[in-house]
Amino acid sequence: MADFAKVVKQIESWEERGAWMTVRHPYTNEPLGDDLPARIHFSSPLSRRWQEMEKTWQVERIVSKQGQVTQIAEGDIERFEKHRMKCFMAVTREWENIEREGVTLACTPVNMEWLYSLPFVFNQVFNFLNDLTNFGAPADAENNHHLAPDVLEDIEKKSLTGATGSLQ
């Protein structure tokens, strides 16, 4: 039998714990950062923040398409990308070691919008958030042998520390 109440409790705990993503160079796949890697801390895509953004998007789509033949237009793609960026921003808790022209960037909506507008960052965030195993149980040899060492380290740290953060 599948105990869905147990799964819901796990998801809620994962939402609270979040996950750190290390930003990587788009060609070398090496962590970005001279001495410390650039990292972003996210809430899960199953979080309430993300789900609220999804509901808003769906309502806006339905309202804008009422009485029209449903076809995907170029503007729809751009609107979806903007929506996805809003979702990224909604679940971004904090970041570390991110600079722009030598100045450390505060984790603010304006800076998030700039960072996530960079295609290589957008794609990494999209892929990271779409892999729910990044928000899963603590690392162990049986379940996480396929994860990169920095991801394992992040999972282990969050399971030990209960890492948290906020947009304030």
56-65, 113-122, 159-168: which range is least confident on average? 159-168
Task: Quote the pLDDT of residue 141.
Answer: 36
Task: Quote the pLDDT of residue 15.
Answer: 64
* The model's pTM: 0.68
Q: What pLDDT digit, counting tens, does each position of 14-27 carry? A: 666 788 999 999 99
The stretch 62-70 carries a mean pLDDT of: 63
The stretch 74-86 carries a mean pLDDT of: 79
pLDDT at 67 over 70: no
Cβ(48)–Cβ(90) under 8 Å?
A: no
The stretch 76-94 carries a mean pLDDT of: 86
- Cα–Cα distance for residue pair 110/114, rounded to 1 Å: 6
List the chain domain ranges.
37-161
First-to-final CA distance of the chain: 42
For residue 76, which phi and psi values (nearest 5 degrees)?
Answer: -65, -40
Question: Which of the pair, 155 or 165, is modelled with greater confidence?
Answer: 155
